[in-house]
Amino acid sequence: MKVFQEALYGDHGQTLSIDEVVFAGHTGHQEALIFTNPVFGKVLALDGVVQLTELDNHVYHEMVAHVPAMAHGMPRDVLIIGGGDGGTLKEMLKHPVDSVVLVELDAEVIALSRKFFPDVSGGAFGDRRVTVTIGDGAAYVENTGRQFDLIVIDSTDPVGPGEVLFSDRFYRSCRSALRPGGIVSLQSGTPFYHAARLERQLEALERCFGSARPFLAPVPTYAHGLLALIVAAQADVFCPPLDLLRARFGTLDTTYYAPEVHHAAFAAAPLCFTRSSAPR
């Protein structure tokens, strides 16, 4: 049996059987592998790390997009850093936004995703509100004169090209590129394994923005099955009352996200700190 062994953690990991290799090659930035697995369906891995699978990518994309969008209430201009698969883009476009800029380092990730995971972006790249820029997200945010209501950092983990997107300097640039009332949203790894990293990131974001809170999403694709995400802003506006969220939700077309899930995701976040003394 052919297997894929994820190369993300030193002392534990996940192994997926490979039914069929759909694509394998270097993009110029990263080693890309797309294969099929009986449980997860089609799987995209970059540099040996699973990015998304057909099984549950909607959970991640809905939560990283709708939690900040619904907390904000009226986002007009949105910036997505990374996110070349187009899943976050698709979810963001469900809101009545005026514009979404997506800054992805690797054009090949967009091309591969559109070819092999067409449902993930679902035509989002063709939306007239979207501008795609190929380049480093940190450099873009530092140099853009534009201001945004939401910035979603849909990046790889803090190794390789994604590392810069976890720095204080990048967070400060994001703060400068946010309008008053703006919100940043990002993924922060698997909470039990990355407890100390999550706490450091929360502290850094709180120092930079004023307020930051973690929330959780079940994503079996990532080892441990539980993903921590963080939202940061000037004030703790992240969890509006349920009535308000329900009014904002209206007819939003989602599979996982719902106002009740929004509240539950924050309520469950103390789970993240059960092993906060772990030396990682």
60 is a contact residue toward ligand SAM (CB under 6 A): yes
- Please say which residue, 93 or 138, places its beta carbon nearer to ligand SAM: 138
Q: Residues 81, 134: contact at Cβ < 8 Å?
A: no
198 is a contact residue toward ligand SAM (CB under 6 A): no
- Tokens matching residue 168: 């204080």
Catalytic residue among 149, 154, 157, 168: 154
Beta bridge partners of 49: 46
- Tokens matching residue 37: 């697995």
Q: In the complex, what is the shortest distance from the CB of residue 162 to ligand SAM, in angstroms, rounded to a whole number?
A: 4
Contacting ligand SAM (CB under 6 A), which of 103, 120, 208, 217? 103
Distance separating the N- and C-terminal Cα atoms of the chain: 33
Site for ligand SAM in 230-259 (CB under 6 A): none
186 is a contact residue toward ligand SAM (CB under 6 A): no
DSSP state string for 55-110? TTHHHHHHHHHHHHHHHHS---EEEEEE-TTSHHHHHHTTS--SEEEEEES-HHHH
Q: Residues 60, 227: contact at Cβ < 8 Å?
A: yes
Is 154 noted as a catalytic residue in this protein? yes
Site for ligand SAM in 9-38 (CB under 6 A): none
Per the document, the length of the chain is 280
- Please say which residue, 135 or 210, places its beta carbon nearer to ligand SAM: 135
164 is a contact residue toward ligand SAM (CB under 6 A): yes
Q: In the complex, what is the shortest distance from the CB of residue 153 to ligand SAM, in angstroms, rounded to a whole number?
A: 9
Minimal CA–CA distance to 65: which of 188, 156, 150, 182?
Answer: 150
Contacting ligand SAM (CB under 6 A), which of 162, 191, 240, 259? 162
Q: In the complex, what is the shortest distance from the CB of residue 170 to ligand SAM, in angstroms, rounded to a whole number?
A: 9
- Tokens matching residue 192: 């039990």
138 is a contact residue toward ligand SAM (CB under 6 A): yes
Alpha-carbon gap, residue 18 to 244, rounded angstroms: 45
Count of residues that bind ligand SAM according to CB under 6 A: 24
- Tokens matching residue 22: 């759909």
- Tokens matching residue 191: 């909470």
Contacting ligand SAM (CB under 6 A), which of 105, 130, 174, 272? 105
Q: In the complex, what is the shortest distance from the CB of residue 74 to ligand SAM, in angstroms, rounded to a whole number?
A: 26
Instruction: Report the interface residues with ligand SAM, using CB under 6 A.
Output: 51-52, 60, 81-85, 103-106, 109, 136-138, 154-156, 161-162, 164-165, 187
Residues identified as active-site: 154
